[in-house]
Amino acid sequence: MSGRKALLRAYKERKVEAGIYAVRCVATGEAWVGATPDLSTRQSGVWFSLRLGSHRDKSLQTAWNAHGPDAFAFEAVEAVDTEGLDRFGRDSRLKERRQHWIAALNARGLL
């Protein structure tokens, strides 16, 4: 098996961890909280859309544009066990935990 095929196979077989994450602006103290079915890939997706200037949350995009990427930190705040749940059950559990963290961190919610 080639190295590329082995890497692809390992990627497909990895355990995906759903959870809640926070994006924090060190310059202002603001925080935004979101939920994702795959914590390991979410930061790159958020940073990509922010660098392009196309993030759906306008307040986060505005803060990013004003303070630059070095003022931001990504933090996984909770891994959520979704094993045995269908998509609706997983989404409901993530939504519930996201609401909890928005309140706990006095943060804004990300879609």
Tell me the pLDDT tens digit for each residue of 10-52.
767 768 899 999 999 999 999 999 999 999 999 999 999 999 9
More confident residue, 4 or 24: 24
What's the structural domain count of the chain? 1
Distance from C-alpha of 42 to C-alpha of 57, rounded to nearest angstrom: 15
What tokens appear for 46 in the block?
């958020």
Distance CA 76, CA 43 (A): 9
Query: Structural domain of residue 74, as residue ranges?
Result: 3-109
pLDDT tens digits for 50-100?
999 999 999 999 999 999 999 999 999 999 999 899 999 999 999 999 999
Measure the CA–CA gap between 22 and 6, rounded to whole angstroms: 33
Task: Tell me the CATH number at 25.
Answer: 3.40.1440.10
Question: Is 70 exceeded by the pLDDT of residue 1?
Answer: no
Q: How confident is the model at residue 111 (pLDDT cuts 50, 70, 90)?
A: confident
pLDDT at 65: 98
Residues 73-82 pLDDT 10s: 999 999 999 9
